[in-house]
Amino acid sequence: FMRRHGIPTAPHHAFADLEAARRYLATQPAPYVIKADGLAAGKGVLICATREEAEQGLRAMLVDKAFGASGEQVVIEGFLRGEEASYFAICDGTDFVPCPAAQDHKPLGDLDRGPNTGGMGAYCPAPLVTPAVERRVIERIVRPTLAGMAAEGHPFQGVLYVGLMIDDADVPHVVEYNCRFGDPECQPLLMLLASDLAELLEAAADGQVSRVQPRWRTGAAACIVMASGGYPGPCEQGFPIHGLEALPDSPDCRVFHAGTARRNGDWVNHGGRVLGVTAWGADLGAALAAGYRLVSRVGWQGAIYRKDIGLKGLKRDPGGRPATNVAL
């Protein structure tokens, strides 16, 4: 789709045959990105530093069927360098309303170390997406995507999530599309929405999204994900979560339940990502300080969370200031 419509993404090719895939690999520079073509619960992407590693990955998917039917076809992509951002547009088939850009933190550990996860935290707006970058995202990606979908007989109505890689020259490329909000990007994004979400979605469903101009709060919001010990592998579950009842309930700080359950009157952790601790502040530093203050009041045995959510944003945003208890 992106090739047909001239939408910038990594160079790529799909293969079902190991030998053909190996021959293509030999013509491409390292590092390599190998993706199972089907859905693999976020785990079907390998970043390979060498050709040997990439060939092992290809063999695991195409011959050993490590990802089952999802890996019967693989996509070999060029490696995009830069910083990632998540861009959301509420679309009505031809037109759209843009949302402030967010940034997720996919690796498990501080400073982007460790295995990839569904997302360990997010903040919004992301200073990486300057007005100039946003104009490029809209003109080179969002508009051609909507026009291409309509031209091919599938006008897109709903939330378009464009996963972006923005390179050093501020040029955005598409890493992925999703037809939904992001988790955890949705939490800080919607904390900034000051008008009615339902009205906006209804207008999109009616094909008249420009009828509604959403109002966004000033300042910033941040979400710190608290996860179970062991995540993203098998998790230790069933431990009572302390501190939830004593938290303030306000539009400026919300703890979203993702993987919890009620047991004998207690909340317990029940899943990988358990809580999305989300706070608003007058700037990113204030939002992070408020979010980490909430995190310090909640916990359970084995709980883990990143201590550097928003750090990249703070480094870029001259108005931001380090949150007092962001360890890094």
CB of 40 to ligand GLY, least distance (A): 13
State the amino acid at position 271 in one-letter form.
Answer: G
Tell me, by CB under 6 A, how many residues bind ligand GLY.
7
C-beta of 161: minimal distance to ligand GLY in Å?
A: 7
Judged by CB under 6 A, the residue of 55, 84, 92, 104 near ligand GLY is: 104
> Of the two residues 62 and 192, which places its CB atom closer to ligand GLY in the complex?
192
Q: Of 77 and 104, which has the nearer Cβ to ligand GLY?
A: 104
Contact characters 163-182, ligand GLY, x per CB under 6 A: ---------------x---x
Does residue 213 bind ligand GLY (CB under 6 A)?
no
The strand pair at 156-166 and 172-178 is best described as antiparallel
Separation between Cα atoms, residue 80 and residue 195, nearest integer Å: 36
Our finding on whether 84 is near ligand GLY (CB under 6 A) is no
Work out how close the CB of 216 gets to ligand GLY at its nearest, in angstroms, rounded to a whole number: 20
Q: Measured from the CB of residue 180, what is the shortest distance to ligand GLY in angstroms? A: 7
Of the two residues 40 and 247, which places its CB atom closer to ligand GLY in the complex?
40
CB nearer to ligand GLY: pick between 50 and 178: 178
* Among 157, 173, 2, 152, CA closest to 87: 173
| 183, 236, 252, 283: residue in contact with ligand GLY (rule CB under 6 A) | 183
Q: How far is the CB of 52 from ligand GLY (least distance, A)?
A: 30
CA distance 326 to 328: 6
119 near ligand GLY, judged by CB under 6 A:
yes
Here the tokens at position 76 are 């070999």
The reply on whether position 276 binds ligand GLY by CB under 6 A is: no
Min dist. Cβ of residue 151 to ligand GLY (A): 27
Shortest Å distance, C-beta 126 to ligand GLY: 13
The contacts of residue 23 (CB under 8 Å, 6+ apart) are: none
7, 144 Cβ separation under 8 angstroms: yes
Residue 105 CB, nearest approach to ligand GLY (Å): 9
Nearer to ligand GLY, 13 or 106 (CB): 106
Nearer of residues 119 and 259 to ligand GLY, judged by Cβ: 119
Q: How far apart, in Å, are the Cα atoms of 84 and each of 152, 164, 205?
A: 28, 5, 29
Q: Which is nearer to ligand GLY, 108 or 212 (CB)?
A: 108
Q: Which of 77, 185, 308, 317 binds ligand GLY (CB under 6 A)?
A: 185
Between 175 and 203, CB nearer to ligand GLY: 175
Q: What is the largest CA-CA distance in the chain?
A: 60
* Residue 77 found at the interface with ligand GLY (CB under 6 A): no
Binding residues (CB under 6 A) for ligand GLY: these are 104, 118-119, 178, 182-183, 185
